A and B are shown apart, each in its own frame.
Chain A
Amino acid sequence: MAQAIVEVKHVKKSYKKRKTKEYITAVDDISFTVNKGEILGLLGPNGAGKTTTIKMICGLVRPDSGSILINGIDNQIKRLDAQEHISAVLEGNRNLYWRLTVRENLEYFAGNRGKSRKEVAGQIDELLVQFRLKDKENEMVNRLSRGMQQKLAIAVAMLAGSEVILLDEPTLGLDIETGYEVRELLRDIVRNQKRTIIITSHDMDVIQDLCERTVIINSGKVVTDDRVENLMRLFEVRSYSVKLDGHLSEEQHQLLLNKFPELIYSPDTYQSTIEVDLTKSQEIYDLFDILKLEQTPVDTIDRKTINFEQVFMNIVKGEKEYALSERA
């Protein structure tokens, strides 16, 4: 059985708006757990309560009620003890001192956690190589590219040596190449260094690529807590688009509609298109049997696949629609 390292239990948090004095519920009775050694994606639209949740896990914001255990330690009762087990990159490149060099930043933040320079020198060298920052170690942070700054911020969190690392939007604002490099680094950290990572991101490709499980938050509540592959399967469609060199006969069209009532046929002089959703994969044979009747030439067949972004949208939209229908 998987061992929980972060346990969020019935956490609530609301803020008072300064001008109107009304209370805004940011997080409304959220519970979930993160297991040792997994990468968990914490998702949700803007204003869903993600950042508040992350900051409560970090011990930077106190919940109104509920508790958060980090490695079994309640982070409200023993905040500093809990923080031994957690580090975070919250605002990416803004989490660094821009007038210190790469190495100085690493040394300074390790120093603030009570570690001496000698103690961490070897680890710093390893991290610089791993994060491909070795040739920039004496460069000031303000002269680095955004991608390098981001990598350094992650390296700083790594150097803390904590079991849990929280990353808020780790690939935001990065070019494609660096984005992939960061993904590889994170995958490597979990696989080879047995750390636990919690990621928030708007980049669903990153989540789909890295995370085994996601917790989706909307309007301060947990909407979904499931494995990524289960969610993908839930929304999976077998939707095909078949392009024909020519037309269907009247009879073929009728037969197809009888078999697939939802089918869309768009005739065209040069290239007609059939769009069809199959409920079973074997139904593709029925489709081709009908095309074979007239030896209709098939140009291309495309299967539309769903990506995690669509899954996420479906979940969040479904939530909204459900809420609206409830209200009605």
Chain B
Amino acid sequence: MRFLNVLNANIRREYIMLKRYLPNTIAMLVTFYVIFLGMFFGISLVGDPSTQDTNIQYVIVNYIFWFMTMAVVNDIGWQITNEATQGTLEQLGMSPMGIWKIMSTRLISTTVLDFVMIVALLYLSMFTAGQWLNVDVISILPVLILTLISMFGLGLIIAGFTMILKQIQAFLQILQFILAGLTFVPLSVAPFLAYFPFVKGIDMVREIMINGVSINEFAMSDILILVFNAVFYFALGLYVFLSCERYAMRKGLLAHY
């Protein structure tokens, strides 16, 4: 119950921030809308008509996931940096709930709000372009949730490192390109990437959206890898975060930036 109150407070804060930085939020929404439309029309104009649908879907799915990984993994690093600079990180550290729970609810809040916005925009773009993608919600949702959990683990690792390293901004900027690479590369090119935090999940979502595969058609091994990744990366993320927190408290790093 208390965790739900923390979650509620953080979703509300995220929502207020979106409203308060309204020009920024509108700019983000417009950019997405334009990019989606560009993808729909651009690929129809220059792409090969026989593979056109596949291409549109491929690019759009990749783009959405790249945005989601950025929102989850990268954003939490920036958030910790900002909190430490503002002087509020120590206040979060004073909560009997623990910083990790607050940060996890931040991850969930950003994901939920960004996801709602991006899905709304996707439908708006499909409506504008008159082209409708196959969105099998029942198949996508479980895969997506498991993928997000492993992403949260990665987010917690980044958050932990940000707490103890001061010069992480440069790394965060590079990280967004690494994330782009991981989201865009198909698993068939590099099968070992299946054990990376979110690559397997994205690959499965692509299968669902592009090839119309339904959730019960996946091999058990695919599902197991996905579940394993979710559990493993979240546990690893939590372990790294708590270790970093302990280290930061030993060295007195929560306030000094």
- A118 nearest CB neighbor, chain B only: B5
Interface residue B252 (Cβ < 8 Å from any Cβ of A):
yes
Is B91 interfacial (CB-CB < 8 Å)?
yes
Interface string of B1-22 (1 = CB under 8 A from A): 1110110111011001100110
- Provide the residues of chain B in CB contact with A130, threshold 8 Å: none
In the assembled complex, the CB of B130 is this many whole angstroms from the nearest CB of chain A, namely: 40
Partner of B86, one of A84, A94, A104, A112: A94
B242-257 residues at the A interface, CB under 8 angstroms = 246, 249-252, 254-255
Judge if B98 is at the interface, Cβ distance under 8 Å.
Answer: yes
Q: Does residue B28 face the partner (Cβ distance < 8 Å to A)?
A: no
Those of B172-208 within 8 Å (CB) of chain A: none
Are A52 and B255 in contact (CB-based, < 8 A)?
Answer: no
Cα A81 to Cα B97 with chains together (Å): 9
Using A61-B249, A107-B9, A108-B9 as known contacts, say yes or no to A113 and B96 having CB atoms under 8 A apart.
yes
Tell me if B136 is interfacial: C-beta within 8 Å of chain A.
Answer: no
Q: Which residues of B are found within 8 Å of A104, using beta-carbon distances?
A: 13, 16
Which residues 215-257 in B have Cβ within 8 Å of A in the complex?
246, 249-252, 254-255
Given A90-B255, A111-B12, does the pair A80, B94 have CB atoms closer than 8 Å? no
Are B9 and A111 touching (Cβ within 8 A)? Answer: yes
State whether B86 touches A114 (Cβ < 8 A): no
What is the CA–CA distance of A113 and B105 in the complex, to the nearest angstrom? Answer: 13
Given A87-B94, A114-B2, decide whether A95 and B88 contact each other with a Cβ distance below 8 A: yes
- Within 8 Å by CB of A86, from B94, B102, B246, lies B94
Q: A97-B88, A100-B13, A113-B95 are in contact. Are A60 and B249 (CB under 8 A)?
A: yes
- Give the complex CA separation of A109 and B96 in angstroms: 11
B17 and A80 within 8 A (CB): no
Q: Do residues B95 and A90 form an inter-chain contact, with CB atoms below 8 A?
A: no
A151 to chain B, nearest CB (A): 16
Take A91-B87, A111-B12 as given contacts and tell me if A99 and B96 are in contact as well, using a CB distance cutoff of 8 Å: no
Contacts of B102 in A (CB 8 A): 112
Cβ-defined contact, B16 with A109, below 8 A = no
A15 lies within 8 A of chain B by Cβ: yes
Asked if A88 lies at the interface with its beta carbon under 8 angstroms from chain B, I say: yes
Known: A60-B254, A100-B13, A115-B5. A109 touches B249 (CB 8 A): no
A80 and B16: CB pair below 8 A?
A: no
What is the 8 Å Cβ interface bit string for chain A, positions 125-160, against chain B (1 contact, 0 not)?
000000000000000100000000000000010000
Q: Are B6's CB and A111's CB within 8 A?
A: yes
For A110, list chain B residues within 8 Å (CB): 9
0 or 1 for each of A53-93: is its CB under 8 Å from B? (1 = yes): 00100111110000000000000000011011011101100
Flag whether A96 is at the interface (Cβ < 8 A). Answer: yes
In the complex, A87 Cα to B97 Cα: how many Å? 13
A249 in contact (CB, < 8 A)? no
Give the complex CA separation of A119 and B2 in angstroms. Answer: 12
Q: In chain B between 97 and 136, which residues have their CB closer than 8 angstroms to a CB of chain A?
A: 97-98, 102
Shortest Cβ distance from A100 into B: residue:
B16
Closest to A85 in B: B96
Asked whether, in the complex, the Cβ of A112 is within 8 Å of the Cβ of B92, the reply is yes
Contacts of B90 in A (CB 8 A): 55, 58, 60, 90-91, 95
A86 to B96, CA, bound (A): 9
Write the chain B residue with the least CB distance to A93.
Answer: B87
- Contact of B88 with A113 in the complex, beta carbons under 8 Å: no
| Nearest Cβ on chain A to B15's Cβ, whole angstroms | 11
Task: Please tell me if the beta carbons of A116 and B5 are within 8 angstroms of each other in the complex.
Answer: yes
Q: How far is the CA of A104 from the CA of B14 in the complex (A)?
A: 12
* Contacting pair B94 A114 (CB below 8 A): no
Q: How far is the CB of B38 from chain A (nearest CB, A)?
A: 32
Say whether A112 contacts B252, CB under 8 Å: no
Q: Which residues of A contact B20 (CB under 8 A)?
A: 99-100, 140
**Complex Cα spacing A212 to B67, Å:** 57
- Given A61-B252, A91-B255, A114-B3, decide whether A84 and B94 contact each other with a Cβ distance below 8 A: no
Contact of B251 among A15, A84, A95, A116 (CB under 8 A): A15
B contact residues around A88 at 8 Å (CB): 91, 94
A114 touches B6 (CB 8 A): yes
Known contacts A60-B90, A100-B13, A112-B102, A81 near B96 by CB under 8 Å: yes
CB distance from B102 to the nearest CB of A (A): 6
Cβ contact within 8 Å between A111 and B10: yes
Report A-chain residues with C-beta under 8 Å of the C-beta of B251.
Answer: 15
A80 touches B97 (CB 8 A): yes
Which residue on A lies nearest to B17, using beta carbons? A99
A63 smallest CB distance to B (angstroms): 9
How far is A58 from B12 in the complex, measured between Cα atoms in Å?
27
10 sample A-B contacts, Cβ–Cβ < 8 Å, listed by A number: A59-B93, A61-B250, A94-B88, A97-B86, A104-B16, A110-B9, A113-B96, A114-B97, A115-B2, A115-B5
Interface residues of B (CB under 8 A from A): 1-3, 5-6, 8-10, 12-13, 16-17, 20-21, 86-88, 90-98, 102, 246, 249-252, 254-255
Further 11 A-B residue pairs, CB within 8 A, beyond A55-B252, A97-B88:
A59-B93, A60-B252, A61-B252, A61-B254, A62-B246, A81-B96, A90-B87, A94-B88, A97-B13, A100-B20, A117-B9
